[in-house]
Amino acid sequence: LPPEDVAVQDAFWDAVLCELGIGPSPNAVTVEVYAKTLAEQGVLMLEQGVVDRAIDALERACAMAPDVPMCHSNLGVAYDAIGRREAALAEFETATSLNPGLAAPHHNIAVTLRKSGHTELAIRELERAIALAPRNPSFRIELGGLLEELSDLEGAERVFRDATGPSDDEWSASLAFGDFLRRRKRYSEAVAAYQHAEALRPGSAGALRGLGRCYWALEDRQRALEVTQRLVVLQPHNPAVKFDLAMMLQRLVRGHEAVPLLDDVIRLLPGMWQARALKASILAELGRYWEARSLFEEADGLGATGDAFWEMWAETEAALGDGERESAVRGLAARSNGALTEAGAPAVAD
């Protein structure tokens, strides 16, 4: 916010505090309305990255209405964002004591505990959140992901599958289940989950991207290409889907079609080394070695890694007849591992 707007807001809330007072008041309903409004404003500031201002607003809200659990829960989220985890947990506990039936504070406790490495306690809190809000699939989705990380695949699948039952957001549950099945390489089952998600929300970027990747893994290249091209049309400014399409075109030996897409990705996400590395490999395949070298160097400067990356770069240097640089690149490759895969691509949002 501009300084003048901040000053006006501060003056307004100071006036509110003076008028309403702190603590018990005969106009408690009005106090609660003001406090919730201020708490919502604090959350918006937090989402915008203005953390100090968010904490100030949320602390004011808690002072105005100390018996409103939402204010304490949101303040806990803000404290957690700056690493004050003990203070965050205290606010979440206050929220649960004020209203034991609220699910969100238990979820927030789980998130904070998970960051601190207290996995079992985090699972317990997520289970409490699920019990309190059984129609909210987001808690089951998070629990499923946590169990998957712990290699409890059977438990994770059960939780993800339960999330797809009757709920307030069947689409997100189907999408998450599809992602889980795709990670487990159960592509045919994942396709069914993604198709259901796409039927619930036509044009869903997450569902279409998942379908494209599954079709590709199932070697149904044409359907993979069609789905991904459709997604690019629906989201022409989304670098993630353009990167996917470029990878497919490169593997179909249609690299010349992929280059303009990668130019867009680089323009939209200048720090994404994978786009430069993929474009460099395509240019090398097209015999444009000097341009490829330049892009490999740029990708390296952005932190590129992976066996495939170093190998492509070394082959480019060999094609240029620079044995010394080829040896240097292969030396770097010997100290690296991994591959250029979809893992490096940015997430896609609906």
Q: Check: CB of residue 131 under 8 Å from CB of residue 125.
A: no
Dihedral-angle region of residue 167 (phi above 0 means left; psi in -120 to 50 means alpha; beta otherwise): beta
DSSP letter at 23?
S
Burial class (CB in 10 A: 0-12, 13-18, 19+), 96: buried
Q: For residues 63 and 72, what is the distance between their CA atoms, to the nearest angstrom? A: 10
For residue 284, give the nearest of 244, 255, 241, 305 by alpha carbon.
Answer: 255
Helix axes 137-149, 104-115, angle to 10 degrees: 20
**Three-state DSSP class for residue 343:** helix
For residue 244, give the nearest of 276, 212, 268, 215 by alpha carbon.
Answer: 212
pLDDT value at position 28? 65
pLDDT value at position 6? 58
Burial class (CB in 10 A: 0-12, 13-18, 19+), 26: exposed
**Three-state DSSP class for residue 269:** coil
Taking the mean position of all CA atoms in its chain, how far away is CA 31? 36
pLDDT string in tens for the chain (350-residue length): 455 455 556 666 665 666 555 544 445 667 778 888 888 888 899 888 888 999 999 998 998 889 999 999 999 999 999 999 999 999 999 999 999 999 999 999 999 999 989 999 999 999 999 999 999 999 999 999 999 999 999 999 999 999 998 888 899 999 999 999 999 999 999 999 999 999 999 989 999 999 999 999 999 999 999 999 999 999 999 999 999 999 999 999 999 999 999 999 999 999 999 999 999 999 999 999 999 999 999 999 999 888 888 889 999 999 999 888 888 888 776 655 444 444 444 454 55
pLDDT value at position 168? 84
Q: Check: CB of residue 221 under 8 Å from CB of residue 252.
A: yes
Q: For residues 257 and 340, what is the distance between their CA atoms, to the nearest angstrom? A: 20
Side-chain-facing half-sphere of 112: CA atoms under 13 Å: 26
Q: For residues 156 and 123, what is the distance between their CA atoms, to the nearest angstrom? A: 12
Give me the phi and psi of 295, to 5 degrees please.
Answer: -70, -35
Sole residue written with tokens 């992602």: 179
> How many other C-beta atoms lie within 10 A of the C-beta of residue 233?
10
Q: Render the burial of 284-295: b for 16+ CB within 10 Å, e for the rest.
A: bbeeebeebbeb
pTM of the model: 0.76
**Beta-carbon contacts of residue 279 (< 8 Å; ≥ 6 apart):** 246, 258, 259, 262, 263, 266, 295
